[in-house]
Structure 1
Amino acid sequence: MTLARPETDPNVTPRRLLLLAVPALLVGVVCALILWTLEQAADLLSDVLWDTLPDAMGIDPNGWWIILVLTVTGLAVGIALQVLPGHGGPDSATTELVGKPLPLRTLPGLAVVTLLGLAGGVSLGPENPIIAINTAIIVSVFARFIPQVSGQVSMMLAAAATVGALFGTPVAAALVFTGLVAAVRGGGSLWDKLFLPVAAAGAASITMHLLGAPPFAFAMPAYGPPQALDILIGSLVACAVTVIGLAALAAFPVVYRALHALRHPIIITTVGGLILGILGYIGGPITMFKGLTQMGELLKDPGQYDAGQLAVIAGIKIVALLVAASALFRGGRIFPATFIGVALGLLISTLFPSLNMSLVVACAVLGIVLVVARDGWLALFIAVAIPGDIALLPVMCIVVLPAWLLVSQAPEFRILPATPKEASTSARTG
């Protein structure tokens, strides 16, 4: 028996992704700085228009001053559009969120009119103009210094970075570009395709909540604002647990072959059940079942488990998962994998008590689910859902990158079904 290998693009390798990650990270920093600079300038001008000048003249800024300032703002923007090179770029009412890169000569005028509008109180956000500015700059820089990267790729990097900066989470950018990619490849809006599935999933979720199903989130210490060091700590934790998951992945076909050497299904499931019973006896009920309720038990009072106990719990659950998956039992692997991640996260947190527990547990869950599910979205969702702290999301979206490089070329966590020839050979030898 062999493990199933995913279909991959031969042009996309971990080395290429790693090399492109460096300029991609730089693009993110640059785009964020440009956005920050524009917003800081707008805030300074806004303070002058709405605080300093009214205070100096003893004017109520909530009265006729509003009319005056917005009128003058409109006048100033109109003049800028008339006289500045490029005329402030295309009308935002006619543009999409992400469009073709503008000529560089239009950017100063676009920045000026955007600044005036933001400071003057115009009811528009900075998203279209700042995406256009960043896209034009990054595409130009890449064309000059890294010409081997296509204009489309550099445009996507700049636009994604700007969306991530605007909305404070990389998920927003990923979701936006999921829709764009779907529209390019298949035509139409992604949400047209997702409408019915989302409706069905939403109704099912609400129904489960109304029926009293336990939530997929637990009370854990608050994470707090992200810190730069957390990215390093989280990456180390996620990668370490990913390696543990890959070791379990390597053992999976070995366990599968060992149990299936018994040949008869009844014998396989019986022996498998026996092994699981022994494991449950050793580890206790907390190492049994699918793991959702047991996660709650672990997280309810983590202090009652020392490092040795948590290591035993995680180890037994890993073996139990491999045995159960190999012994013809029907069921999924995501829930037990999540339990393993929680146990390993608590183990690391116990060994290094100065680390934030929510961060460590989330990163551990991310690492193991990434191996078992091979789905970055699912791994991110579960990792953040367990502690239920959205503040973790920006850090997790960076932490997932090195973990994914470890997983990207690994086999899937499943066994390839036997080919007709293998089945025939097995039948003859049996």
Structure 2
Amino acid sequence: MTTPSHPPEPEPDQKPSEAAPDPLALVRSRGYLFLLLVAAVIGVPISAVAFGFLALVNTLQSLTYKDLPRALGFHGTPNWWPIPLLVVAALLVGPIIRYLPGHGGHEPARGFVASGPTPAANLPGVALAAVVSLALGAVIGPEAPLIALGSGLAVAMLRLTRKTIPKQANAVVGASGSFAAISTLLGSPLLGAFLLMEMSGLGGSMLGVVLVPGLLASGIGALIFTGLGSWTGLGTYSLTLPDVPHAATPDAAGFGWAVLIGVAAALTGVGIRWLALRLLSLVQPRRLTATLVAGAVVGVIALLYAEWTGHPASGVLYSGQSALGPLLTTSAQYSAGALVTLVVCKALAYSVSMAAFRGGPVFPAMFVGAAGGIALSHLPGLGVTAGLAMGVGATSAAMLKLPMTSLLLATLLLGSQGLTVMPLVIVAVVCSYVLTLRLTPKPAAAPAPEQDPAGSPSG
């Protein structure tokens, strides 16, 4: 992952003046004004690149899943269609991860990891692996590749103006690029800011130093996203939910449901991550063949879901970002059994995809939580809107381990109704987050990089 980590701790023998830079002095310096100018400028091209990335993925999804089978003479998309689609994805993604620098980006099964701006040499592999994975049906999100691409492109553009760049300026500009790339996708620059702050551990006196350029870049980016969406007629690809049902005022039953959903989400999230990491340990030593098997498995899961429930296989595929709205508006067409089947199939495909493909963990987690919350709303004492909000927040907290971001994801998604259910979401997120930390074992040492046939690292 590609956001700056917080400044290093001073050595014991350092003087206070040498230990860490003075944030106030940094903000007053001419160099910081230059960074603000850079952040404003890079927000334009990076937001345009992010918009193009999302537009390309959306177009390829429609072409490969809907248009191609009809062009081949099928009436609609056959339930088995995801199997060859994902096999093709695996045939492309496996070599990209194996042979291109950077291994196609960070392993999504390991969650978000702050590791600084993406090296320029790694950007093609990150972009290619993500586009193929997202476009051809892997259950993975676009946010992690966008963060990686935004940081790498920002630093690369800065290097065009200066040969030597201070490490701190490099980190600030990289973070600004990530802000610009991700903020509008999540529906709010503030939500993007919370995501990047929590995942990178930024805090204290240096928070504002990094945050202000990032917010400036994301604000410029929001304007570019909106303008391009209007000019092209393609929309902005932001995370939104139309026609959210009215939410009742929280009561005692609602808080009871919040605790139960928090516990269930933690158990689900821990199980998804455990399976993804176990599968990852099997995929890494045999990347090409294992990725091929993983693609076929995800396709079979989607086929079984479609055959069992009568709903389209696409419900199991993809990130779930664009499917959240239709799931909510058509929830009455799903029985409780169909929703439970959707949760199970999506969670399994999510685990397999994180082990073999490239992308981010946010949107599939939100979709799993949303489907689970809507399924539970068939029981007494829980409304659809409250169930969806608590499911989204609690499952996101379990998968991301970012409680504030998870709370905002669930509440801002629902607009004005999010304020009504916020107390319930807070309880669900806290229960899920605490239980997830209790259930998660200490991380093991990271494995050695994958080797190419000549024996040298492929990245």
TM-score (norm 2): 0.47
Matched, 1:287 2:313: no
Q: What is the correspondence of 1:213-362 to structure 2 with a 5 Å cutoff?
A: 213-218=236-241, 219-260=243-284, 263=286, 265-283=287-305, 284-327=313-356, 329-350=357-378, 352-362=379-389
Q: What is the Cα deviation at residue 260 of structure 1?
A: 4.0
Q: What residue in structure 2 maps to residue 207 of structure 1?
A: 224
Preserved contact between residue 395 and residue 432 of structure 2 (Cα < 8 Å): no
Map Cα deviations across residues 335-371 of structure 1 (whole Å, 9 max, x no partner).
1111111111111112x15411111111111221112
**Counterpart AA for 1:397:** I
Distance across 2 between alignment mates of 1:335 and 1:312: 18
Preserved contact between residue 372 and residue 413 of structure 1 (Cα < 8 Å): no
Map Cα deviations across residues 173-195 of structure 1 (whole Å, 9 max, x no partner).
xx9xx9xxx99x8547x444421
Q: What residue in structure 1 maps to residue 16 of structure 2?
A: none
Q: Indicate how the Cα distance of structure 1 residues 316 and 416 shifts in structure 2: closer, same or farther if over 3 A, else same.
A: farther
Preserved contact between residue 371 and residue 413 of structure 1 (Cα < 8 Å): no
Which structure features the higher share of helix residues?
1
Q: Secondary structure at the match of 1:408?
A: helix
Map Cα deviations across residues 130-161 of structure 1 (whole Å, 9 max, x no partner).
xxxxxxxxxxxxxxxxxxxxxxxxxxxxxxxx
Preserved contact between residue 266 and residue 435 of structure 2 (Cα < 8 Å): yes
Higher deviation after alignment, 202-211 or 279-288: 202-211
CA-atom RMSD in angstroms: 3.3
Q: What is the correspondence of 1:118-129 to structure 2 with a 5 Å cutoff?
A: none
**Counterpart AA for 1:216:** L
Preserved contact between residue 342 and residue 371 of structure 2 (Cα < 8 Å): yes
Map Cα deviations across residues 67-94 of structure 1 (whole Å, 9 max, x no partner).
xxxxxxxxxxxxxxxxxxxxxxxxxxxx
User: Highest relative contact order (Cα 8 Å, sep 6+), 1 or 2?
Assistant: 2
Matching residue within 376, 382, 395 for 2:424 = 395
Q: Indicate how the Cα distance of structure 1 residues 359 and 414 shifts in structure 2: closer, same or farther if over 3 A, else same.
A: farther
Map Cα deviations across residues 200-238 of structure 1 (whole Å, 9 max, x no partner).
122223433441124423122122433344222212112
Preserved contact between residue 294 and residue 352 of structure 2 (Cα < 8 Å): yes
Distance across 2 between alignment mates of 1:346 and 1:413: 33
Map Cα deviations across residues 8-53 of structure 1 (whole Å, 9 max, x no partner).
xxxxxxxxxxxxxxxxxxxxxxxxxxxxxxxxxxxxxxxxxxxxxx
Preserved contact between residue 302 and residue 314 of structure 2 (Cα < 8 Å): yes
Q: Secondary structure at the match of 2:446?
A: coil
Q: Indicate how the Cα distance of structure 1 residues 372 and 399 shifts in structure 2: closer, same or farther if over 3 A, else same.
A: closer
**Counterpart AA for 2:256:** L
Distance across 1 between alignment mates of 2:223 and 2:240: 15
Q: What is the correspondence of 1:396-411 to structure 2 with a 5 Å cutoff?
A: 396-411=425-440
Q: Secondary structure at the match of 2:377?
A: helix
Q: Secondary structure at the match of 1:292?
A: coil
Give the % identical residues.
22
Preserved contact between residue 301 and residue 345 of structure 2 (Cα < 8 Å): yes
Q: What is the correspondence of 1:7-406 to structure 2 with a 5 Å cutoff?
A: 186-187=204-205, 190-210=207-227, 211=229, 212-218=235-241, 219-260=243-284, 263=286, 265-283=287-305, 284-327=313-356, 329-350=357-378, 352-388=379-415, 389-406=418-435
Q: Indicate how the Cα distance of structure 1 residues 316 and 191 shifts in structure 2: closer, same or farther if over 3 A, else same.
A: same
Q: Indicate how the Cα distance of structure 1 residues 342 and 271 shifts in structure 2: closer, same or farther if over 3 A, else same.
A: same
Distance across 2 between alignment mates of 1:416 and 1:319: 25
Q: What is the Cα deviation at residue 331 of structure 1?
A: 0.6
Higher deviation after alignment, 388-397 or 376-385: 388-397
Q: Secondary structure at the match of 1:289?
A: coil
Q: What is the Cα deviation at residue 416 of structure 1?
A: 5.6
Preserved contact between residue 370 and residue 379 of structure 1 (Cα < 8 Å): yes
Preserved contact between residue 255 and residue 424 of structure 2 (Cα < 8 Å): yes
Preserved contact between residue 256 and residue 326 of structure 1 (Cα < 8 Å): yes
Preserved contact between residue 373 and residue 413 of structure 1 (Cα < 8 Å): no
Distance across 2 between alignment mates of 1:304 and 1:287: 16
Distance across 1 between alignment mates of 2:219 and 2:343: 33
Preserved contact between residue 390 and residue 424 of structure 2 (Cα < 8 Å): no
Distance across 2 between alignment mates of 1:382 and 1:401: 14
How many equivalent residue pairs?
A: 241
Q: What is the Cα deviation at residue 381 of structure 1?
A: 1.1
Distance across 2 between alignment mates of 1:353 and 1:267: 47
The answer for unaligned runs of 5 or more in structure 2 is: 1-189, 230-234, 306-312
Distance across 2 between alignment mates of 1:269 and 1:209: 37
The answer for unaligned runs of 5 or more in structure 1 is: 1-170
**Counterpart AA for 1:344:** G
Preserved contact between residue 372 and residue 412 of structure 1 (Cα < 8 Å): no
Preserved contact between residue 238 and residue 399 of structure 1 (Cα < 8 Å): yes
Q: Indicate how the Cα distance of structure 1 residues 399 and 339 shifts in structure 2: closer, same or farther if over 3 A, else same.
A: closer
Distance across 2 between alignment mates of 1:322 and 1:197: 32
